[in-house]
Structure 1
C-alpha cells in the first residue's frame, strides 16, 4: 500500500508544494515546528534513508540543499536545521526547519498557520529556488 507521501506525490492528497523534479518532491509540513518547515522526499518509496541507493541519497541531499537555501532567503531565521527521523511515515523524508531557537528542533512545539499563510510561504520559497 502506498504511503501518505506517495499519495501526495501522485496528487491523491493535496500539499503545499515547494519544489519538484523528476526524482524528488518538497512540500510544507502541515504540522510544522516552525514557519517554513519543509519535507523533502524521494519519489521512489523507500522506508529508510540509508537504504536508498547512493545516487538517490546524494540527489536527495542536493535537492534538499537547494530548498534550504531558498528557505533562508524568504523565512526570517538564523539557519535552516536538518533532521531525518523517519519513524512516523515509512518513506524517507528530510525535515528542513528554519531555526531561531533549539526548541524548534524538538518536534514538541508546533506553530499554527492558516491556509493563506501556507500558500504564501510555498509560493515564496518556490520562487526563490535557483
Structure 2
C-alpha cells in the first residue's frame, strides 16, 4: 500500500520541499512542532529505520545534518532536535525540529494545521540557509 509520503514524493498531494535528490526528499511538516519542522524521507518505502540499507541510512543522516545546520541558522533555536519514531506513517522519516526546550519535542503539542503561505515562507528561509552553506 502506498504511503502518504510516497504520494507527496510523487506530487499526488502537495508538499513544501526544501531538498530532493535521487535517494531522499525533505519537506516541511503540515503538523509542525515549531516553525521550520522538516521531515527527511527516503524515496524507497521502508517502514522501520533499522531496516534501511546502511548506505541509505548514512545518506539520510548526511542530508539531515546539512538541513539541521540550515535550520539552526534560519530559525532562533538552541538546538535542532531529531526524532525517529515511526508510529504515524509506516514509511521511515526523520523529524528535524528547531527547539529551545525539550518540552517542544512533544507531538501532543503539534499544530493541527498551518497556512500554506507560512510553509512557503519557512521553506524559503531554509532554502536560503542551505544555499549559504
TM-score range (shorter-chain normalised) is over 0.9
Equivalence map 1:1-130=2 (5 Å): 1-111=1-111, 113-129=114-130, 130=133
Quote the Cα distance in structure 2 between the aligned partners of 1:25 and 1:61. 12
1:83, 1:117 → 2: CA distance? Answer: 23
Per the TM alignment, residue 124 of structure 1 is displaced from its structure 2 partner at its CA by: 1.4
| 1:13-59 per-position Cα deviation (integer Å, ceiling 9, x unaligned) | 10111111111100011001111111000111100000001000101
C-alpha distance in structure 2 between counterparts of 1:13 and 1:70, whole Å: 26
SS for the counterpart of 2:27 is strand
Q: Which stretches of structure 1, 4 residues or more, deviate above 6 A after TM superposition?
A: none
Alpha-carbon contact 1:103-1:109 (below 8 Å) kept: no
Query: TM-score, normalised to structure 1's length?
Result: 0.95
The two structures have a TM-score, normalised by structure 2, of 0.93
Aligned length: 130
Alpha-carbon distance between aligned partners in 2 of 1:2 and 1:114, rounded to the nearest angstrom: 26
